[in-house]
Amino acid sequence: MKNVNFDRVQVQNSADRLAAGRQRLARAVVASSHDWSPAQQEMLATVATPPDDIAGVIDRLKAVQKVLDTLPPSPGTNRVAAFNTLYLTITEQVATSLTGPDVTDPDWLETLDVEFARLYFKALGAWGVAGADPADAWEVLFRRAHDDSITPMDAAVLGVNAHINHDLALAVVATWHRLGYSGDRPQHPDYLLVNRIFYQQIPLLRRRFATAWQLEIDRCVGDLDDWSQNILVRTTRALAWEQAEILWHLRDDPKDLARALQILDRASACAGETLLTGTSLLKALWLTASAWAKRLFKRA
**HEC readout, 230-298:** HHHHHHHHHHHHHHHHHHHHCCCCHHHHHHHHHHHHHHHHHHHHHHCCCCHHHHHHHHHHHHHHHHCEE
The pLDDT score that the predictor gives to residue 24 is 60
Going through the chain in order, the beta strands assigned E by DSSP cover 4-6, 297-299
The pTM (predicted TM-score) of the whole model is 0.80
Strand partners, 297: 6
User: CA 290, CA 40: separation in Å to the nearest integer?
Assistant: 31
Q: Is 148:77 a contact under the CB 8 Å cutoff?
A: yes
Q: What are phi and psi of 137, to 5 degrees?
A: -60, -40
Per-residue pLDDT of the chain (300 residues; tens, 9 = 90+): 555 565 665 656 655 665 565 566 564 555 566 899 999 999 999 999 999 999 999 999 999 999 999 998 877 889 999 899 989 988 998 999 998 888 889 999 999 999 999 999 999 999 999 888 899 999 999 999 988 888 888 888 889 889 888 998 999 999 999 998 876 667 888 887 776 676 666 666 555 554 444 444 344 434 434 434 444 555 666 778 888 988 998 999 998 898 889 888 988 888 888 877 754 444 444 444 454 444 444 443
The pLDDT score that the predictor gives to residue 20 is 61
The pLDDT score that the predictor gives to residue 197 is 75
Residue 86: strand, helix, or coil: helix
